[in-house]
Amino acid sequence: MLISQETEIPWTALRYLTGEVVYGGRVTDHWDRRCLNCTLSNFYNPDILNEGFCFSTDGVYCMISESMDFLQCINSIESIPDRDSPGIFGMQDNAEKAYLGNQAKSFMTTIKSIEPRLSAGVQTFREQRSEGEIVFEKAESILKKLPETVEGIQESDDTFLDLAGLLALPTWTAYVQSVKGYDSLVNSALLVILRQEISRFNRLLSVVCSSLHSLCLVVKGQMILTDTLEETYNSFLSMKMPKLWQQHSYESCKPLASWIDDLAERVNFFRTWSRQFTAIAQKRISPGKTLKLTPRKASQLQEIDSPEPYSFWLSAFFFPQGLLTALLQNHARKNSLSVDNVTFEFHVQPFTKLTKEFFSVRKHQSNIWLQAFKVDRMSAELPGKRVYECPLYRTSQRAGTLTSTGHSTNFVIPVNLPTHVAASYWVTRGVALLCQLDD
């Protein structure tokens, strides 16, 4: 029989066995596993053997002393609250409040989903309007806010081509063939991203506008009510986003009214980007041709000297990961580097009031600057620099499909933020960045 002569407790091995072997196989998300290991480190560490050690700052969860007798041990255990406080897990006291608030919201959402017509009936009684009139009015209001395509709203005296029309011109093909070296128009990976995003938003706008027109016909009695249109009808009464739209939409937790405003802003962003790219391209492939613009658009484009925005609204993209990859590809192409050796460095800027002006140098403002740089052995690790690797998600629900990389499709990128305390302090509190809020 072999007896181990080890006198020290293998804390590292115990944490790995519990966090990576016992629970690690069930916790598939990387960030959840990181949080699990940070929580375990509060319990699997040599400090718990010290006299008077407590797991929380409130002094409630303390270790049993060796000097206690059996009755004192029982009394100490029975004094522990029935409900664990957030502090025992390293979280702030407001975490419980947020949890209870989310439960209340979920409960109210369930109630509304059971009888959406009841709440609408009360509203119609007060306003002396029928449900059909309310739905018809909302549908018409949304149709006035949204274009049928991203590049669809143009004044009659505009000579702007859409992006697809520009790329189909023989002069564009000739320009592409004449380019030597890197060109911000031809070689930019962002052009592919722009075309993909326009295609996705056009598909979404097509579904939204088509269903709205059909809904108006249903209310007028000129079309048969299908199951899909009935769900859309009920969603309008409860101010929720219809399931049909969700199937073609980007990730969002916003209610119907906020989602419509958000969609309109996103469409405007890509419309402006497309027109900016088209204007610069036309100037290059046809230098002597002057563009006929309305005064409003002329003022918008008078400062344009780049086919791309000066800053990007990351939240506006269906697939923001594609934008970040394209930015790295552009940096690698400009500097003749391998894209595998390029990554982002994050610089947090002083907080300023956010604006939606992404195409003007004078109005350009950003809170986090992503600077691409080449990774080498010297810059891979920066000693003495304390950072928190903060995950960035599209929405607060973190809903998504687990990819082969181990991350959810709702996850965008880890952002290294400077911190004056240990990173575990933020990990146990679940600190994350969101592309959009729920309101």
Triad 347, 311, 433: Cα angle to 5°: 50
Distances (CA, A) of 44 to 26, 39, 62, 150: 20, 9, 14, 55
Torsion region of 406: left, alpha or beta (phi above 0 gives left; psi -120 to 50 gives alpha):
left
pLDDT at 9: 86
Chain mean pLDDT for the chain: 81
pLDDT tens per residue across span 82-112 = 888 888 888 887 888 888 888 898 888 787 7
pLDDT of residue 116: 52
pLDDT for position 350: 73
Q: What is the mean pLDDT of residues 303-310?
A: 73
Say whether pLDDT at 114 is over 80. Answer: no
User: pLDDT band at 164, cuts 50/70/90?
Assistant: confident
Provide the sign of the torsion angle of the four alpha carbons 15, 17, 23, 25, taken in this order. positive
Whether residue 248 is predicted with pLDDT greater than 90 in this model: the reply is yes
User: pLDDT per residue over 263-283, tens digit each?
Assistant: 999 999 999 999 888 888 888
349-377 pLDDT per residue, tens: 776 655 556 666 555 556 878 877 777 64
Contact 238, 256 (CB under 8 A): no
Question: In this model, does residue 125 exceed pLDDT 80?
Answer: no
List of residues 6+ apart from 38 with CB closer than 8 A: 90, 424, 427, 428
Return the HEC string of the chain: CCCCCCCCCCHHHHHHHHHHHHCCCCCCCHHHHHHHHHHHHCCCCHHHHCCCCECCCCCCCECCCCCCCHHHHHHHHHCCCCCCCHHHHCCCCHHHHHHHHHHHHHHHHHHHHHCHHHHHHHHHHHHCCCHHHHHHHHHHHHHHHCCCCCCCCCCCCCCCCCHHHHHCCHHHHHHHHHCCCCCCCCCCCHHHHHHHHHHHHHHHHHHHHHHHHHHHHHHHCCCCCCHHHHHHHHHHHCCCCCHHHHHHCCCCCCCHHHHHHHHHHHHHHHHHHHHHHHHHHHHHHCCCCCCCCCHHHHHHHCCCCCCCCCCCCHHHCCCHHHHHHHHHHHHHHHCCCCHHHEEEEEEECCCCCCCCCCCCCCCCCCCEEEEEEECCHHHHCCCCCCEEEEEEECCCCCCCCECCCCCECCEEEEEEEECCCCHHHHHCCCCCEECCCCC
Whether the per-residue pLDDT at 124 is higher than 70: the answer is no
Q: How confident is the model at residue 335 (pLDDT cuts 50, 70, 90)?
A: confident
φ and ψ of 391, to 5 deg: -75, 145
Instruction: Tell me which of 433 and 1 has the higher pLDDT.
Output: 433
In CATH, the number for domain 11-93 is: 1.10.8.720
Average the pLDDT over 232-252 and give the result.
Answer: 90
- Sort residue 346 into left (φ over 0), alpha (ψ -120 to 50) or beta: beta
Report whether pLDDT(35) > 70.
yes
Q: Is the pLDDT of residue 39 over 60?
A: yes
Per-residue pLDDT at 296 exceeds 50:
no
- Using the predicted structure, report yes or no on whether residue 129 has a pLDDT greater than 80: no
Nearest to 191, CA basis, from 176, 178, 181: 176
Whether the per-residue pLDDT at 156 is higher than 50: the answer is no
Hey, where are the domains in the chain?
A: 11-93, 130-380
Confidence of residue 195 (pLDDT cuts 50, 70, 90): very high
Per residue in 377-420, pLDDT (tens digit) is 445 455 556 889 999 999 888 766 665 555 567 889 999 999 99
Mean pLDDT of 296-325: 76
Report whether 144 contacts 155 (CB < 8 A).
no
Q: Determine the average pLDDT of the residues in 125-148.
A: 83
